[in-house]
Chains A and B, each alone.
Chain A
Amino acid sequence: MKLKHSLFTRRQFLNGLFGGWLTALLASFLYPIIKFIFPPTREPDQVILPFPDFKDMGPNSVRVFSWGAKPGLLKKNEDGTLRAFVGVCTHLDCNVTYLPGQRKFFCACHDGWYDENGRNIGGPPPKPLRQLIIVIEGEDLIIKREGVE
C-alpha cells in the first residue's frame, strides 16, 4: 500500500528498515572481529642501549640490536662516527647483512646491494635503508625514529 505523495510503499519502507537494522547488527559483530585480526603496530619510538657495550666496536663494523621485532644495525664508520639503520631490505623486507670487506650492505633474498651509507646501488631495492637518529646521553645510547622528540 502506498500513501499519496509517498516515494515508496509501506512494505518497501519496512524492508529497508529491517535490512538496515540487519546490516547494522552484522557490522557490530564484524567490527570487533576485524579489529581483533589487526593488532596495533609495534614499531618502537626509541630504544635505549648501554653505550659502554658498543665502545669497543672497531671502525668499519656493524653490530645488531633489537629494533622492535626487526634487527637494527649500528655502524661505526671509518672516522669513528656512528650511524644506525633499520636492517631490513626495502625491496621485500628480508634482513640485510654488512660485508665489511666490500663496504656494502647485502640482502641475500633477491641480491640487493646498498653502499656503506645505506644507499641502494644494485639489484631490486627501490629505496635506501631506513636511517635512525642516534643521541648519546651519558651512558645511554638512544636510537630514535625520525620525527620523534
Chain B
Amino acid sequence: MSIKDTKTWIQEWLDERSGLSSITKFLREKKIPQHKHSIWYYTGSAILLFFTIQVITGFVLVFYYSPTLEEANQSVGRIMTEVPFGWIIRSVHSWSASFMIAFVFVHLLSIWITKSYRRPREATWMSGVILLVFTLAFGFTGYLLPWDDLSLAATKVGTDIPRSIPVVGIWGTRFLRGGEDITGDTLTRFFGFHVSILPVLLFILLAVHIYLVQKHGMSLPLTARRKNERFVELPFWPNFVYREMVVWLILVGVLFSVAVFLPPSLEKAADLMAPAPEGIKPEWYFLFLFQTLKVFPAKILFITGDTIAILLILLAVIFLFFLPLIDNRPAERKGKIITFIAYVFIMYAVVMTVWSLI
C-alpha cells in the first residue's frame, strides 16, 4: 500500500467508527459573510486563543504551585526566580487572563450593539453571559493564589460582597471563604475553584456555546439584513481560518511582548492580621465595580449603601442575561434604546475606572 492509500484507509477506518466526516464536511461548507462589521467575528476565536494559552500555562504552573498558607507565596516566588522560564510562564498566564477578559467584553458589546442576540440566538447569548461570569470568577479566584497583601485585601472585599444581600448572602460569603473569615481554607478552596470546578463548568458551557454558534451560523448585521445587501461569503476553511491565524499571530506577539517587559509583581506574603495596604486596587476589570462600592454612601435612607450598590450590580447582570427576552423584537428592527444603554454602560465603566485611578 502506498502512503496515500494508507492515509485513505485510516480515514475510512476512523470515519466508519466515529462519523467524523460529518463534522469535517460541515466545516468545509461553512461560509463566513464579509461586510463592514465582519471584524467582530474575529473576537470569538481570539478569546479561544487566550483561553488555550491559559489552559496550557495553567497546567504547568500547577506543577510547582502549592495552595497552602505557608507555601503559596513562596512557591510563586520560586516559580518566578528558580524554575527555568517560570517568570515568563506566570507572566503570560497573568497577561493572557487580562487579554481574554478584554476580548470577552469586546465580544459581548459587539453582539449587544449589532443585536445579534435576537431570535434564534437568545440561548447563545445567555450561555455567553454565564461564560462571562465564569471568566470573571476565574480572574477573581486566580488573583488570590499568589497570596500577597494585595490579593488578600481584594479577596476579603470580594468574598464579603455576597453578605450585603439580605438573608441568603451570608451563605454565599461562607461558601466562598469556607467559614466566617479568610483562612488557609479559603486559599485551598479558591485553588479548587480555579483549577478544577471552574474549568469543568467552563468547558461544558463553552461546548454548548460553540455548538449553538455553529447551529445558527454567523449572524448578519442589521444593515445587511435590512437592505438585502449582496456581500461576499468566504469559505470558513481555509480562507477565514488563515485570516484568523494572522490575527492570532499578532495577538500572540503583543501578548508575549508585554509579558516579557511587564511581568506581574509579587509582594511579600499576606498577613491575616496586617491592615489593608494603602492604595489597594483590584484587577482593572473590577475597577468600575470597586469605585461604585467606594462612592456609595454609608446609608441611603435606612438601608446600608453597599447593599443597594450590590443589588444594583446584581440587577445589571440579570438585565444582561435576559436581554434577548427583554428586546425580543424581530431581527430586522432597529433598537436605538438598547444601543443607547450599551453606550451608557460603556461610558459608566470608563468614567468609574478613570475615577478610581486618580
Which residues does chain B contribute within 8 Å of A125, judged by CB atoms?
298
Decide yes or no whether B120 CB sits under 8 A from chain A.
Answer: no
A69 contacts B183, CB within 8 Å?
A: yes
A92 contacts B278, CB within 8 Å?
A: no
| In the complex, residue of chain A having the shortest beta-carbon distance to the beta carbon of B154 | A109
Decide yes or no whether B332 CB sits under 8 A from chain A.
Answer: no
B313 to chain A, nearest CB (A): 13
A123 contacts B181, CB within 8 Å?
A: no
Which residues does chain B contribute within 8 Å of A111, judged by CB atoms?
294
Count, chain B residues at interface, CB 8 A: 37
Task: Find residues 30-62 in chain A having any chain B CB closer than 8 Å to their own CB.
Answer: 37-43
Which residues does chain A contribute within 8 Å of B274, judged by CB atoms?
71, 95
Question: A94-B157, A108-B275, A110-B293 given as contacts; is B305 within 8 A of A124 (CB)?
Answer: yes
A42 contacts B180, CB within 8 Å?
A: yes
> C-beta contact mask, B175-195 vs A, less than 8 Å → 1, else 0?
100111111010000000000
Question: A66-B273, A69-B181, A107-B276 given as contacts; is B298 within 8 A of A93 (CB)?
Answer: no
- Give CA–CA (A80, B127) in the complex, Å: 61
- Give CA–CA (A41, B182) in the complex, Å: 11
A41 contacts B179, CB within 8 Å?
A: yes
> C-beta contact mask, B206-221 vs A, less than 8 Å → 1, else 0?
0000000000000000
A92: contacting residue among B182, B273, B298, B306, CB under 8 A: B306
Decide yes or no whether A19 CB sits under 8 A from chain B.
Answer: no
Task: Find residues 273-303 in chain B having any chain A CB closer than 8 Å to their own CB.
Answer: 273-280, 290, 293-294, 296-299
Decide yes or no whether A117 CB sits under 8 A from chain B.
Answer: no
| In the complex, residue of chain B having the shortest beta-carbon distance to the beta carbon of A72 | B273
Which residues does chain A contribute within 8 Å of B185, judged by CB atoms?
39
Question: A93-B156, A97-B275, A108-B277 given as contacts; is B294 within 8 A of A124 (CB)?
Answer: yes
B293 contacts A124, CB within 8 Å?
A: yes
B191 to chain A, nearest CB (A): 15
| In the complex, residue of chain A having the shortest beta-carbon distance to the beta carbon of B296 | A124
B178 contacts A39, CB within 8 Å?
A: yes
Decide yes or no whether B317 CB sits under 8 A from chain A.
Answer: no
A116 to chain B, nearest CB (A): 16
- Give CA–CA (A110, B291) in the complex, Å: 8
> C-beta contact mask, A106-144 vs B, less than 8 Å → 1, else 0?
011111000000001001111100000000000000000
- Give CA–CA (A124, B274) in the complex, Å: 21
B178 to chain A, nearest CB (A): 6
B→A interface (CB under 8 Å): 153, 156-157, 159-161, 163-164, 171, 174-175, 178-183, 185, 272-280, 290, 293-294, 296-299, 304-306
Having A43-B180, A93-B156, A123-B298, one finds 4 other A-B pairs with CB under 8 Å, namely A41-B174, A42-B180, A70-B272, A95-B156
A→B interface (CB under 8 Å): 37-43, 64, 66, 68-71, 87, 91-97, 107-111, 120, 123-127
Could you pull out 17 A-B pairs where Cβ atoms are within 8 angstroms?
A39-B179, A40-B179, A42-B180, A43-B181, A69-B272, A71-B274, A91-B306, A94-B156, A94-B157, A94-B276, A108-B279, A109-B156, A109-B157, A111-B294, A123-B298, A124-B294, A124-B306
